[in-house]
Amino acid sequence: MRIDVVSIFPDYLAPLDLSLIGKARRDGLLDIRVHDLRVFTHDRHRTVDDTPYGGGAGMVMKPEPWGEALDALATQGDPRPVLIVPGPGGEPLTQRTARELADREWLVFACGRYEGIDERVYEHAADRMDVRVVSLGDYVLNGGEVAALAIIEAVARLLPGVIGNAASLDEESHEDGLLEYPVYTKPAQWQGRAVPDVLLSGDHGAIARWRREQQLHRTARRRPDLLHASAAADPDDLALVP
């Protein structure tokens, strides 16, 4: 997979050189290229923002640098990338979205700052990219870089070979529509607290049932919205939840 990230703060993306994603880049599984938007400005002050038409607080990112940056990345006839624009008003990032994006061969991230990017940039890009505005959640960040890091991590870890133990991907939270069960490791006793006996029993059927119950209890307590939406919670499962 190829990933391009355009930002006025390219150093914000430095964490992509670390850990499993950094290794995947070095192994050639991921081709991540970070671009400084100011390279696509031509005035002395390398201006990327201006005051909003219609008034209002803050500044808006000018369309010209973005137009040049995106045109430099994807010309007609190239494979069609997804242009992911993080934004508080976007579709929520879910595991389903991450799985969809993991199936694409080329992602381009436009990391905005200020009060966002001139709307005409999205329209211009739609000629040669599939444009998706994506939100991390219902809170406001200062820019798109943190969101891009989160989306890249959520997508890249689904790619074959990026994280060692692919089996753990199957049992992930949200993979089956429920929250994850609690996990434990040695020592068996810690601060006077024991590990649930069932986990020491070696009875794999009982362990699987206990974990499922824990998932349902946690989901009912913390995310009841997921229970009703989840196809995973069939009626006799729901009977386990008080």
Ligand X SMILES: Nc1cc(-c2ccc3ccn(Cc4ccc(CN5CCCC5)cc4)c3c2)n[nH]1
Q: Contact residues for ligand X (CB under 6 A)?
A: 86-88, 112-116, 135-137, 139-144, 147
| Shortest distance in whole angstroms from residue 142 CB to ligand X | 6
Nearer CB in complex with ligand X: 73/84: 84
Q: In whole angstroms, how far apart are CA 231 and each of 69, 76, 109, 175, 237?
A: 42, 41, 32, 11, 11
| Shortest distance in whole angstroms from residue 6 CB to ligand X | 12
| Residue 93 burial by Cβ neighbours in a 10 Å radius (0-12, 13-18, 19+) | buried
Nearer CB in complex with ligand X: 119/172: 119
| 177, 231 Cβ separation under 8 angstroms | yes
| Shortest distance in whole angstroms from residue 18 CB to ligand X | 22
| 194, 186 Cβ separation under 8 angstroms | no
Rounded-to-integer distance, Cα 32 and Cα 29, Å: 10
| Shortest distance in whole angstroms from residue 211 CB to ligand X | 31
Rounded-to-integer distance, Cα 236 and Cα 50, Å: 58
| Shortest distance in whole angstroms from residue 86 CB to ligand X | 4
Residue listed under structure tokens 């029993």: 201
Nearer CB in complex with ligand X: 115/203: 115
Nearer CB in complex with ligand X: 118/179: 118
Nearer CB in complex with ligand X: 65/144: 144
Q: In whole angstroms, how far apart are CA 221 and each of 50, 154, 173, 242?
A: 46, 25, 15, 10
| Shortest distance in whole angstroms from residue 119 CB to ligand X | 11
Strands ordered across the beta sheet of 31-36: 31-36, 2-7, 106-110, 82-92, 130-135
The secondary structure of 108-164 as a DSSP string is EEE---TT-B-HHHHHHHTTTSEEEEEESSSS--SSSHHHHHHHHHHHHTTSTTTSS
Nearer CB in complex with ligand X: 121/216: 121
| Shortest distance in whole angstroms from residue 145 CB to ligand X | 8
Nearer CB in complex with ligand X: 81/87: 87
